[in-house]
Amino acid sequence: MAHAPAIARTIATLDRAIGKFRAAGQSVALVPTMGALHAGHVALVRRACRKADRVVVSIFVNPAQFAPHEDFSSYPRPFDVDVAVLRDLDVDLVWAPTLDVMYPAGFATRVAVKGPAETDLEDRFRPHFFGGVATVVAKLFAQCRPDWAMFGEKDYQQLKTVTRMARDLDLKVEVVGVPTVREPDGLAMSSRNVYLDTRERAVAPTLHRVLGECAGRIAAGEPIARVVSEGSIAIEEAGFAIDYLEARHAESLVRVETRADGPLRLLVAARLGKTRLIDNVAV
């Protein structure tokens, strides 16, 4: 039976709740979010419910991962709606700290990440981003003490960065990648999809379609460089301003030249009007 999750807004309240779970010998899974929950988040929560005895969902719009020109102030924050969604999913606890709880006066520490975070993909366009993500995620891991943490594959570079950080810092949490949830036409679900107007929404699935075509051609043995070049042209001709379309090693995200260079992942980022979309597929 569905039940309303408890809501913690202070470290003391969170500690008490997590302490009770641990005292009972129960495992904990964490789903970090910035709210504005959609079906992609629901998939993360359902995976968490299958993994652990207790599920914690954090809701915190993290200013450290927004650049000055990005949409921090306008980022959607429908907290009551989000809690209603989580009630139907049998989430046990919502961790919803305020800004001054997460970053109190005098806060002066930041996690510096390299490896997958410095591969000339998202970091080329958002150099501040992964340091901000790593800092808040490290705090969430320390605060919630989860056995598992769920991250979507849509933000693939983020997934690999957080996985590497948890391993490097011995954080004793297993980062679990959950497949991207898509609309029926293939568009990856994202909180930012609401910014697309009607015409743009009709064009947006082109990203996933081209990725799939490129992955099939590479798997069939066509040269990566040619496939990626022609895929980029197809995306631009559809009306996007492309930031990148790249084939990378699926774990390290280093550049590859042939299929023999290891498991491959195709990653894309492109702007459609005022909205920036990202996506990726395995080859």
Which residues are the active-site residues? 41
* CB-based contact 91:55 (threshold 8 Å): yes
- Residue 151: strand pairing partners: 177
Please give the Cα distance from 255 to 207 (Å, whole number).
Answer: 21
As given in the structure block, the two tokens for residue 181 are: 């949830």
* CB-based contact 165:113 (threshold 8 Å): yes
Please give the Cα distance from 135 to 69 (Å, whole number).
Answer: 20
Q: Which residues contact 118 (CB under 8 A, 6 or more apart)?
A: none
